Structure 1
Amino acid sequence: MSNKVESPMWRALDDLYNDVSAHQTTVAQALKAADKQMDSGKGDVWMGPVARSWGSDLHGHSAGLGSQTSAFLDAVLKERNSLDKEVTPQQAHMEQLQLSGRI
């Protein structure tokens, strides 16, 4: 008989990974419509030098969102995989306190 229980920290990271993975495409595409409308400040939404600068920034953020989402998922997975899936009840209690912000 094992005296180990599921790690709350491992579970929280696994849930986070699964939640973000389920919405990865939506997140990666979140700025695409606005970027297209702005057309780097040459679109119908807003024009002029400030619009070009702002539109250029928006285009960069839009283009980078997919890779940032992937990098975030990789970091969550790496952290989750560095933890034991099962821990002692005492360790689980400490992890639960950490997750709740009580320590």
Structure 2
Amino acid sequence: MSKPFDSAGAVTMGKLAMFNKNDDQAMRSSKALMLSIQLDNVFRDVRGARFETGVKQEAAVAEMKAVLEDDTKDVSGLAEVADDNYRFWQEGEL
């Protein structure tokens, strides 16, 4: 699926390419965990993000995983979880 960035927030996890309705819960959970770990690595290693005060890596990954494995959650919900857990480069600066 290809959507303009400004309208992607309403897209549900069930519409993303990684989500297969034929996967059982174990497969869905495994895929969500792998993608959560990849996102964590990209945020920290590529984009230079740091964890917000008091946030641990395991918790940040687990929260993203919970969103990714729920076909009713949307991309904006995933973005909120990421924003709550990571402080991105120059966040809050003008």
- Tell me which structure has the larger Cα radius of gyration: 1
Compare relative contact order (CA 8 Å, sep 6+) and give the higher one, 1 or 2: 1
Q: What TM-score do the two structures reach when normalised by structure 1? A: 0.26
Q: What TM-score do the two structures reach when normalised by structure 2? A: 0.28
More helix by share: 1
